[in-house]
Amino acid sequence: MLKPDMIVNPSELKSTIKNLKDKESFTLLLDITAIDYLKFPVKQPTRFALVYILRDASFKKSVTIKTYVDDATLSVPSLTDIYFAADWAERETFDQYGIKFEGHPNLKRVLNHHQFEGHPLRKDYNITDRQICTETEGLMDEMPKLLTSKGYTQQEQDDMMYLNIGPSHPASHGTIRNFLALEGETIKACVTEIGYLHRGFEKSCETHTYSQIIPYTDRLNYCSAILNNIGYCKTIEEMLDIQITDRAQFIRVIIGELSRIIDHIVCNAANMVDLGGLTNFWFIFSARDKAYDLLSKLTGARLTNSYTRVGGLEYDLYDGFAQDLEDVLKAVEQGTVDALSLVEHNRIFHDRTQDVGVITKEFAISAGITGVNLRAAGVNYDIRKTNPYYHYDSFDFDVVLGSHGDVYDRIMCKFEEMRQSIRIIRQAMKNLPDGEVNVYAPDVLLPAKKDVYGNIEGLMNQFKLTFEGIKVPQGEYYSATEAGNGELGFYVVSDGSGTPYKVKCRPPCFYALGAYSKIVEGGMIADAVVTMASMNFIAGEFDR
């Protein structure tokens, strides 16, 4: 049975985690989640448990800490004074499970509407209950407290101007609301509100088989859907102790890196538009369109591909794929050169991006920021290098780092990461092994159609896998991959049945957006817009 690394008493939780940070350098809080054991087949000490996932300063070691919450109090100490990332992580856990975090400065809902009654991830919450929530959240309960904590008097607060950017605004790049307190055009305080695209991904996972969840992962970061498929399937395969074929691993690398390129194109192209560079947008977006044509030909869908399967892939590569892929890569290379040629020595571009939206190394780590936003701050953390999977350790590529952590570094890091992805893809295509794309595992993968229609065993196997699902061994497991926005993790709890007892997605831009308000305070409104665009917030990912 898969188990957490440490189990501690609630009274020792905070001191244990502080000790891990201070003495063993577990400086990165990846995620916090809860488990409701009300219907779990094995009796647990209490109904609720909290799980904390930490990573050390080398980014090679992680630790999973569990504490069983007292049923009478349903509360534990807050970690917001240790990790900035704990702020939104604890709010989400409170929102979904009703567990309180004593000492949290702003313990309120973050994903669900403030009128919502109950806690939807509790096992006794009826999923068919319908609640109509119509009251607008003014955020004026939050803004005065924030301004007062910053030392502004009531008179100074009354003299400020208050402005909403979003949730329906072109500059918000999705359903994000930022409520600003302004002196002139300078942002004195910012409160971020999300949840507008929350659709209950994790609740839906509890009522679907492991294979049926794959299309739901497409809708997380829909700019690089296949990377979500890969991260989820990799987690389930590790729980099943399945090693997919070398050919499947290489194809996942190829299609995953192509998806990363598409993701970076969307981010940088939209950022250029916000800066007034519409021509740059067309140069690189035309290459993105060619990449979608390729994915459509391979998977049958342009955006939400559902290409991976637990144990392999839906299809092998088609005849002529190599040439089509090379045409796409050449289009990306040319589009990147053309777009960069317009801004590399452009004074307006430099003025608008350099020393704007700066993220320091220390704050980025404390806030749980990963991916290119962290690397642009100069922190060398890429899961493909620190914890390689799918033969990434055999590919020759560089981890791209910035030096200032500003908008300029984030844009340039993404452009260079596109080039590195092209290097990886070409190496993978050159060394692509022969063989099958799916493992032989009748209890995991659907049988071939000739067996379904040709013999009773194949028909029974198809029926049982479709209606009962894959039986994953009982236990708890966390696995992560390097997605378009950073560390995409899945914490899965299995009760041994064909549907997961719990699936928790660790969305990388959830934590980046949680830090956004601190990053833009003190800057200008126009700078807040380009900072948001450079950090690539995807509503499907952070809202789930």
Residue 121 contacts by C-beta under 8 Å, 6 or more apart in sequence? 34, 36, 96, 97, 202, 203, 502
* Rounded distance between C-alpha atoms, residue 178 and residue 196, angstroms: 13
Sign of CA dihedral 173, 417, 234, 485: negative
Asked if residue 428 lies in contact with residue 250, where contact means CB atoms within 8 angstroms, the answer is: yes
Asked if residue 482 belongs to a domain, the reply is: yes
In a domain, 86, yes or no: no
- Per the document, the length of the chain is 544
In this predicted structure, what is the pLDDT of residue 3?
65
Contact indicator for 130, 106 with CB cutoff of 8 Å: no
Q: How far apart are the first and last CA of the chain?
A: 29
Task: Please report whether residue 132 resides in a domain.
Answer: no
Kindly give the confidence (pLDDT) of every residue in the chain, 544 residues in length, as a single tens digit, with 9 standing for 90 and above. 456 788 999 999 999 999 999 999 999 999 999 999 999 999 999 999 999 999 999 998 999 999 999 888 899 999 999 999 999 999 999 999 999 999 999 999 999 888 888 899 999 998 888 888 888 887 888 888 888 888 888 888 888 899 888 787 777 777 888 999 999 999 999 999 998 889 889 999 999 999 999 999 999 988 899 999 999 999 999 999 999 999 999 999 999 999 999 999 999 988 888 888 888 888 888 889 999 999 999 998 888 889 999 999 998 999 999 999 999 999 999 999 998 888 888 899 899 999 999 999 999 999 999 999 999 999 999 999 999 999 999 999 999 999 999 999 999 999 999 999 999 999 999 999 999 999 988 888 888 888 889 888 888 888 888 888 899 999 999 999 999 999 999 999 999 999 999 999 999 999 999 999 999 999 999 899 999 989 998 888 988 8
Q: What's the CA gap between 110 and 517, in Å, rounded?
A: 15
**Which string of b and e fits 308-343 if b means at least 16 CB within 10 Å?**
bbbbbbbebbeeebeebbeebbebbeebbebbbeeb
* CB neighbourhood size of 59 (10 A): 21
Instruction: Tokens for 246, please give them.
Output: 């070398």
Taking alpha carbons only, the member of 102, 105, 39, 34 closest to residue 73 is 102
Residue (of 486, 475, 488, 435) closest to 35 by Cα position: 475
DSSP state at residue 128: T
Give the pLDDT score at 2.
56
What is the Cα–Cα distance from 436 to 243, expressed in whole angstroms?
A: 13
- Residues 121 and 39: beta-carbon distance below 8 Å: no
261 in a domain, yes or no? Answer: yes
Distance CA 86, CA 490 (A): 18
> Is residue 302 domain-resident?
yes
SS3 labels along 213-245: CHHHHHCCCHHHHHHHHHHHHHHHHHHHCCCCC
Look at residue 283 and tell me if it is in a domain: yes
Question: Sign of dihedral through CA atoms 445, 474, 499, 497?
Answer: positive
Contacts of 420 (CB under 8 A, 6+ apart): 397, 398, 400
207: number of Cβ within 10 Å: 11
Residue 1's pLDDT is 42
3-state SS, residue 29: strand
Structural domain range at position 238 = 201-543
Residue 27 lies in a domain: no
Residue 426: what pLDDT?
96
Residue 511 is encoded by which pair of tokens? 């934590």
Q: How many Å apart are CA 85 and CA 32, to the nearest integer?
A: 9
H helices within 74-189, ranges in order?
86-97, 143-149, 154-159
Helix (H, G, I), strand (E, B) or coil at 271: helix
Q: Measured between alpha carbons, how far is 71 from 99 in angstroms, rounded to an integer?
A: 10
In this structure, what CATH number is given to the domain that contains residue 505?
1.10.645.10
Count structural domains, the chain: 1
Give the per-residue pLDDT at 170: 76
